[in-house]
């Protein structure tokens, strides 16, 4: 097989279309009757939220490329215009499936479980009276009708906000003819309203805000006839564009750019299904959108707001069973000394099956320990009210040298990171914003302590962010180590980030943008050499995304040489498995479920001298060449074996919540074969690592083994 053959377009899947396929799999979870009903509603909301971000970021970028006359080459051979055409077809089908599922399956099923969504056409007199009073008391004071005439131009419409276009007949207070108005629903208003139990069919009875608005909107236009009221929502390009080479203060520039995010170019218009064509054309023209960018919906224009019902409904029987996270060895003992424990042996934590608490304990002990002299940490996402920030501030006020590298450009967390930066600086923490032109995405923490035998470094390295919320919802690995060589490497990476000097001589860590891509290419080529020589060769990877074309080409070569390749990729995969003569030795599966699969793990058999790395980096161009990333080896053989089982063996056996990628880019759901025991990887890990083995998603007929 030649390189020229590998470059043919048919060997690569388009990344945007692969991302849409991922969202289709999320929707399939909402369709899965094995899952609890409210959790199915949650997955529907997630699919809606994912589609929002897809339009805000990916579609926004494609439209901007076309506007600028750019036609970047892509391994799959599709132009931005061709991709947008296909996105339109698939997105319309996806949206239609979302609303069909809501209206014909989930709402009726919830009704059978005494969870009601009451449409305004079905309100009784008591309900209408209560909602009428609610409108006058809670909504009317906050609403501002905006008539459309030469003195009142079309208002600014905020990204993803709920709005109504009103068709009117009559004259206003000044005798002028007025036929249209806009009403914007402030974001402080709840999109779901719970009815009092004494006038509702159950204590879990809800009404959409849009229904209340429709019912009483005429009160905003006294003396005029409201002939129509139709909800609409605009999605805008939310990419932030800061020319880092031309600015003096990144923090100041980011603050300025945040104000513009809500008013980027429109990329999608959602309107009520029964909205007249005249009004749709008016809105479409105002937002400069094509017909294919209009989405008619039969229900609320923002399905993600239904997430409130998942939390409001008092029905634990319709949710996943409660799960109690396991406590790793670091938390054992009433008077535990985490530094002594880590010094004895590396410790591995597998979140969320095991608790995130050891990370907070690690920093808290460091902040309180008089022997600790310095703490260094990278922050990509951490949340607005993170206890981790309070610990770092307390450590700095105690006189310790605290340095935090904050990534201000973490998408959709920019505002939170700007706020925490100000808090840290006020506590005399040394705050840096990383490297101009390169996002700092590595997850590293380093503590320098004066032990009895001299200065010693302790490090934590992870695949996920220091965010207590996502640590309960995302699967990730976290390693605590005092290995001198590993911690020396971590210290050197911090020196590079803070001092910007050249990075030389890393012995254990692989780091982007310098060594990671090249090292992976070499390791893949080494497996290829083993296979050609008849020696055992095996590559496995757990990733969120596989996009980088050179690495994909190298995997194809390895497959042709006979290397067995198993890829577990949650989202985007641009590699086509199973092509005869190219990738017949490559298998790609996606595993999904209660928790968001997030770890990055790379495994190479290497003729029995296996190597396994956990990392912050997916196999994408941005992770290899435009970010600071770290991959760290698992040196302890027992921990390496544990990750092989927990990250790969279970997931390759999952026959309940897994999908297999075909050469044509489609995904097929895996099912139990006759006589085969059902196995959910996430359930098995909850049973094995959870404190009491509770909280599984499904009822398994037998407890699966990990051997």
Q: Which residues contact 414 (CB under 8 A, 6 or more apart)?
A: 240, 254, 258, 408
92 is catalytic: no
Count of structural domains within the chain: 3
CA distances from 624 to 221, 490, 514 (A): 57, 18, 8
Q: How far apart are CA 451 and CA 628, in angstroms?
A: 31
Q: Which pLDDT does position 155 carry in this prediction?
A: 87
Which residue has better confidence, 268 or 421?
268
Confidence of residue 219 (pLDDT cuts 50, 70, 90): very high
- The 3-state DSSP class for residue 486 equals helix
Of 343, 206, 354, 377, which is closest to residue 690 (Cα–Cα)?
Answer: 354
Q: Which pLDDT does position 469 carry in this prediction?
A: 84
Q: Which pLDDT does position 467 carry in this prediction?
A: 87
474-481 vs 596-597, strand pairing mode:
parallel
Determine the average pLDDT of the residues in 518-544.
Answer: 98
Query: What are the tokens at 109?
Result: 């099923």
Q: Which of 467, 487, 508 is the last residue of a domain?
A: 508
Of 323, 337, 594, 612, which is closest to residue 463 (Cα–Cα)?
Answer: 612
Q: Which residues contact 301 (CB under 8 A, 6 or more apart)?
A: 162, 210, 231, 232, 233, 270, 271, 272
Q: Which residues contact 456 (CB under 8 A, 6 or more apart)?
A: 343, 448, 449, 450, 482, 487
| 594/650 same-domain check | yes
538 phi/psi in degrees, rounded to 5: -155, 135
Exposed e or buried b for every residue in 98-136, given b needs 16+ CB within 10 A?
Answer: bbebbeebbbeebeeeebbbbebeebeeebeebbeebbe
Q: Which pLDDT does position 168 carry in this prediction?
A: 92
| 301/379 same-domain check | no
Q: How far apart are CA 557 and CA 555, in angstroms?
A: 5
CA distances from 179 to 277, 544, 696 (A): 15, 50, 56
| 564/581 same-domain check | yes
Residue range 331-366, pLDDT digits in tens: 554 447 899 999 999 999 999 999 998 999 999 999
Q: Is residue 37 situated within a structural domain?
A: yes
Of 630, 607, 589, 334, which is closest to residue 479 (Cα–Cα)?
Answer: 630
Q: Which pLDDT does position 503 carry in this prediction?
A: 78
| 493/346 same-domain check | yes
Q: Is residue 702 situated within a structural domain?
A: no
Query: What's the distance, Cα to Cα, between the start and end of the chain in Å?
Result: 37
Determine the average pLDDT of the residues in 527-537.
Answer: 97
| 502/525 same-domain check | no
Which residue has better confidence, 115 or 424?
115
Q: Which pLDDT does position 697 carry in this prediction?
A: 47
What CATH number is associated with residue 14?
Answer: 3.30.1840.10
Residue 134 pLDDT exceeds 60: yes
Largest Cα–Cα distance in the chain?
Answer: 90
Residue 641 pLDDT exceeds 90: yes
Q: Is residue 701 situated within a structural domain?
A: no
Q: Which pLDDT does position 71 carry in this prediction?
A: 79
| 503/549 same-domain check | no
Which residue has better confidence, 365 or 74?
365
Residue 494 pLDDT exceeds 70: yes
Q: Which pLDDT does position 427 carry in this prediction?
A: 79
Q: Which residues contact 70 (CB under 8 A, 6 or more apart)?
A: 80
Residue range 237-256, pLDDT digits in tens: 987 554 444 444 444 444 44
Q: Which pLDDT does position 255 carry in this prediction?
A: 46
Residue 368 pLDDT exceeds 90: yes
| 370/417 same-domain check | yes
What are the DSSP E strand ranges found in 469-517? Answer: 474-481, 510-512
Q: How far apart are CA 674 and CA 671, in angstroms?
A: 9
Residue 299 pLDDT exceeds 90: yes
Confidence of residue 300 (pLDDT cuts 50, 70, 90): very high
From the list 214, 441, 483, 598, the catalytic residue is 441
Residue 118 pLDDT exceeds 70: yes
Q: Which of 272, 297, 318 is the last residue of a domain?
A: 318
Determine the average pLDDT of the residues in 381-385.
Answer: 74
Q: How far apart are CA 604 and CA 602, in angstroms?
A: 7
Q: How far apart are CA 701 and CA 398, in angstroms?
A: 54
Q: Which pLDDT does position 178 carry in this prediction?
A: 78
Q: Is residue 668 situated within a structural domain?
A: yes
Q: Is residue 699 situated within a structural domain?
A: no
Q: Is residue 323 situated within a structural domain?
A: no
Residue 2 pLDDT exceeds 60: no
| 243/273 same-domain check | yes
The alpha carbon of residue 515 and the mean position of all alpha carbons in its chain are separated, in whole angstroms, by: 27
| 537/425 same-domain check | no
Q: Which residues contact 223 (CB under 8 A, 6 or more apart)?
A: 170, 171, 172, 173
Query: By mean pLDDT, which of 49-58, 413-422, 519-528 is the weakest?
Result: 413-422
- Whether the link from the prior residue into 513 is cis, omega within 30° of 0, is yes
Hey, how many other C-beta atoms are within 10 angstroms of the C-beta on 139?
21
Percent of the chain with pLDDT over 70: 90
Residue 266 pLDDT exceeds 60: yes
Cα three-residue angle 387-392-397, rounded to 5 degrees: 125
Of 53, 80, 55, 58, which is closest to residue 69 (Cα–Cα)?
Answer: 80
When the pLDDT of each residue in the chain is averaged and rounded to a whole number, the result is 89
Q: Which of 450, 483, 508 is the last residue of a domain?
A: 508
Contact of 595 with 473, CB cutoff 8 Å? yes
Query: What are the tokens at 677?
Result: 């025991």
| 462/548 same-domain check | no
| 494/580 same-domain check | no
| 38/168 same-domain check | yes
What CATH number is associated with residue 349?
Answer: 3.30.870.10
Confidence of residue 647 (pLDDT cuts 50, 70, 90): very high
Query: What are the tokens at 157?
Result: 């419409």
Confidence of residue 413 (pLDDT cuts 50, 70, 90): low
**Residue whose pair of structure tokens reads 């690995």 in the numeric block:** 477
Q: Is residue 682 situated within a structural domain?
A: yes
Q: Which pLDDT does position 243 carry in this prediction?
A: 43
Contact of 152 with 179, CB cutoff 8 Å? no
Residue range 3-48, pLDDT digits in tens: 445 556 689 999 999 999 999 999 999 999 999 999 999 999 999 9
Exposed, middle or buried, 640 (CB in 10 Å: 0-12/13-18/19+)? middle
Q: Is residue 115 situated within a structural domain?
A: yes
| Domain, as residue range, for 394 | 329-508
- Eight-class DSSP state of 149: B
218 phi/psi in degrees, rounded to 5: -60, -20
pTM of whole model > 0.85?
yes
Q: Which pLDDT does position 351 carry in this prediction?
A: 95
């Amino acid at each position: 097989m030649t390189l020229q053959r590998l470059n043919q377009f048919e060997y690569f899947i388009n990344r945007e279309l692969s991302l849409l396929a991922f969202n289709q799999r999320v929707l399939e979870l909402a369709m899965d009757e094995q899952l609890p009903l409210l959790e199915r509603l949650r997955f529907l909301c997630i699919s809606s939220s994912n589609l929002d971000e897809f339009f805000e970021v990916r579609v926004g970028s494609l439209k901007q490329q076309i506007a600028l006359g750019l036609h970047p080459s892509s391994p799959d051979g599709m132009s931005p215009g061709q991709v947008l055409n296909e996105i339109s077809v698939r997105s319309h089908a996806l949206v239609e499936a979302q609303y069909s599922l809501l209206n014909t399956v989930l709402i009726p099923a919830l009704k059978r479980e005494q969870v009601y969504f009451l449409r305004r056409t079905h309100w009784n007199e008591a309900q209408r009276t209560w909602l009428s009073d609610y409108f006058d008391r809670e909504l009317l004071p906050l609403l501002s009708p905006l008539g459309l005439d030469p003195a009142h131009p079309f208002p600014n419409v905020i990204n993803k906000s709920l709005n109504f276009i009103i068709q009117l007949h009559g004259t206003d207070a000044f005798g002028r003819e007025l036929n249209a108005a806009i009403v914007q629903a402030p974001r402080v208003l709840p999109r779901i309203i719970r009815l009092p139990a004494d006038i509702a069919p159950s204590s879990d009875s809800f009404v959409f805000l849009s229904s209340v608005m429709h019912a009483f909107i005429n009160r905003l236009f006294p003396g005029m006839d409201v002939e129509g009221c139709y909800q609409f929502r605009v999605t805008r390009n939310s990419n932030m564009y800061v020319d880092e080479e031309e600015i003096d203060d990144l923090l100041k520039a980011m603050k300025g750019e945040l104000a513009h995010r809500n008013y980027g170019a429109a990329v999608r218009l959602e309107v009520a299904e029964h909205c007249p064509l005249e009004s749709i054309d008016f809105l479409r023209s105002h937002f400069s959108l094509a017909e294919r960018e209009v989405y008619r919906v039969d229900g609320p224009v923002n399905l993600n707001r239904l997430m409130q019902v998942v939390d409001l409904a008092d029905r634990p029987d319709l949710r996943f069973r409660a799960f109690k996270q396991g406590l790793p060895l670091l938390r054992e003992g009433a008077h535990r000394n985490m530094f002594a424990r880590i010094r004895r042996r590396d410790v591995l934590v597998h979140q969320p099956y095991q608790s995130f608490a050891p990370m907070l304990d690690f920093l808290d002990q460091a902040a309180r320990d008089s022997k600790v002299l310095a703490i260094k940490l990278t922050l990509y996402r951490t949340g607005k009210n993170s206890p981790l920030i309070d610990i770092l501030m307390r450590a700095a006020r105690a006189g310790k040298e605290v340095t935090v590298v904050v990534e201000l450009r973490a998408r959709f967390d920019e505002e939170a990171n700007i706020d925490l930066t100000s808090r840290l600086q006020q506590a005399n923490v040394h705050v840096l914003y990383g490297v101009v032109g390169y996002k700092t995405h590595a997850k590293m923490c380093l503590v320098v302590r004066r032990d009895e035998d001299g200065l010693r470094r302790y490090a934590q390295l992870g695949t996920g962010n220091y965010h207590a919320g996502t640590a309960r919802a995302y699967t990730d690995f976290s390693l605590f180590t005092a290995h001198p060589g590993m911690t020396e490497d971590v210290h050197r990476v911090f020196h590079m980030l803070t001092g910007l000097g050249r990075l030389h001589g890393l012995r254990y860590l692989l780091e982007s943008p310098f060594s990671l891509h090249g090292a992976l290419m070499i390791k893949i080529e080494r497996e290829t050499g083993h296979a050609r020589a008849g020696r055992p060769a095996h590559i496995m990877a757990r990733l969120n995304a596989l996009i980088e074309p050179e690495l994909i080409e190298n995997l194809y070569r390895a497959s042709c040489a006979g290397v067995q390749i198993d890829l577990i990729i949650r989202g985007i995969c641009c590699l086509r498995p199973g092509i005869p003569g190219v990738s017949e030795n490559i298998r790609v599966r996606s595993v999904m479920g209660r928790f968001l699969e997030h770890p990055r793990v790379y495994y190479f058999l290497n003729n029995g001298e296996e190597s396994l790395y956990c990392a912050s980096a997916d196999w994408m161009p941005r992770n290899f060449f435009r970010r600071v990333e770290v991959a760290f080896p698992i040196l302890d053989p027992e921990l390496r074996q544990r990750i092989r089982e927990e990250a790969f063996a279970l997931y390759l056996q999952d026959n309940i919540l897994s999908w297999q990628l075909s050469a044509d880019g489609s995904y097929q759901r895996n099912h139990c074969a006759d006589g085969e025991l059902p196995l959910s990887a996430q359930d098995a890990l909850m049973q094995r690592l959870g404190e009491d083995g509770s909280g599984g998603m499904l009822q398994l007929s037998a407890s699966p083994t990990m051997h």
